[in-house]
Amino acid sequence: MKRKLIAAIGIAGMMVSIAACGDSDKDSGGGKGGAEAKELTVWLTVDAQNNWPELVKAADAAVKKKHPGVKINHEYYGWPDKNAKLDAVLATDKAPDVVEMGNTEMLGYMVKGAFAPVDASKFDNSDAWLDGLKASVTYDGKTYGVPYYAGGRVGNWRKDIAAASGVKSTPKTYKELTADLDKIQKKQGDKFSAWYQPTRDWYAAMSFVYDAGGSIAVESGGEWKANLSSPESVKGLKAFKSVVDKYMHADKTKDESDRYIVYGQGKSGMIFGAAWEGATSEDPKNDKTGKLKGNLENFVVPGPSGKNLPVFLGGSDLAVPVKSGAQELAAEWINALTGAEGQKGLIGKGNLPNNKTDLATLKSDPKTAVPATAAESNWFVPMAPGWGQVEKAQVLQTMLQNIGTGKKSVEAAAKEADAKIDKVINTK
């Protein structure tokens, strides 16, 4: 959603022991380092720093009110380099007390024993956490993190560009979508991207794969096997390639990390991304056209199958490293950020909540009905022990770039990706 979830699993050789759960009278889930700790170090990604710093300040204030004199330090990292830095520090005695993780990154760290278990019952709405997020923090029957927020994908287009081509409403079928985009592309010319779709954006590409009945990998008898070269997956990859070939007239080696910035430059008519991206593009500091404010519209993207395009239900989790000396205080801070008030703030920033209760309320609100509805049809990454190694190697991104640039055929690129995935997906 707002970032690349690139997992890095290099924690080999790290000797850790899982601390016992804390005193049940504490508002926390950790056990090592009680709430009496006087200092807390929180690692978050730049998303929080750039998009909702006031929510972080509110969490700080809540903890400081309960624990006068406590010092809270914040460090912010970009998604591409965060885990390399985390791996390095986890091998020392200077681990942070709270760390933000992409939900696809959690598994490898839980397997290695890097995070302390928490008592899920002590966190707001834990009994209604979204399934994909709940699964991402659960390993061997224990909970090792707290869902922070979720993010699906929605279509977003410029109403003025659409109207200039005679298109007056958002499409309800894939046939309508492509017909509308054809009109926009013809009207705007070949230097304009009717649909700005970064080639390396595997979240979007896999939506087409799952829409076609394919998948990244399948499990049988406890073993995972890559499935990108199956007929169904190839069909989905070809549908994705068609979008890139017809409507993406920009650098076909890029990923989605700066999509909202590119969209704000005014050379594209539509994106398929996290719900917050459109709103961020129309921010005056990103809108280079001066025309985006109030002129962008989210919609549920229809898929070639005839159903809504299934979206990746990603998101972030917050975890407490097992080496933290302030686990109880860390858990209190996490609950302050991810609790009821924090969820309201995150929803206001265009994110999906971490729980089904809040998600249901969003469907009845016209302002949030689109992302909430889109999130109902979703997919998630294979919960395989070696999945993090697949992400770290950027196997899917490489495959998609080869397909999008025409370096390899869909079939050849998918077959190569399958071979790479099969080598590591079952490795702990």
Query: Are residues 225 and 349 part of one domain?
Result: no
- Residue 353 is assigned to a structural domain of this protein: yes
Shared domain for 406 and 340, answered yes or no, is: no
pLDDT per position as a tens digit, 109-146: 998 899 999 999 999 999 999 887 888 998 878 999 99
Q: 418 and 279 share a domain?
A: yes
The answer to whether residue 387 sits within a structural domain is no
- Are 122 and 251 found together in one domain? no
Each residue of 321-379: pLDDT tens digit? Answer: 999 999 999 999 999 999 999 999 998 887 889 998 999 899 888 878 998 889 888 88
Confidence of residue 299 (pLDDT cuts 50, 70, 90): very high
CA–CA separation, 349 and 195 (whole Å)? 24
CATH of the domain at 203: 3.40.190.10
pLDDT attached to residue 24: 31
Contact criterion met (CB below 8 Å) for 300 and 157: no
Kindly report, residue by residue over 233-243, the tens digit of the pLDDT: 999 999 999 99
Summarize pLDDT for 157-200 with one digit per residue, the tens.
Answer: 999 999 999 999 999 999 999 999 999 999 999 999 999 999 99
Closest to 214 in 3D by CA, of 104, 387, 421, 379: 379
Indicate if 164 and 306 belong to the same structural domain.
yes
- The verdict on 118 and 168 lying in the same domain is no
Report the domain count for the chain. Answer: 2
Domain membership of residue 25 (yes or no) is: no
Residue 347 sits in the same domain as residue 360? yes
Who wins on pLDDT, 94 or 418?
418
Q: Are residues 183 and 249 in the same domain?
A: yes
Q: Which domain covers residue 196, as residue numbers? A: 154-312+393-424
Residue 358, C-beta contacts closer than 8 angstroms, at least 6 positions apart: 125, 343, 347
pLDDT at 34: 59
Contact 117, 143 (CB under 8 A): yes
User: How far is CA 32 from each of CA 29, 96, 262, 422, rounded to the nearest angstrom?
Assistant: 10, 13, 45, 38
Same domain membership, residue 371 and residue 261: no
Q: Mark whether 342 and 370 lie in a shared domain.
A: yes
pLDDT at residue 148 is higher than 70: yes
Q: Are residues 70 and 216 in the same domain?
A: no
**Residue 90 belongs to some domain of the structure:** yes
Which pLDDT score is estimated for 67? 96
Do residues 100 and 211 both lie within one domain?
no
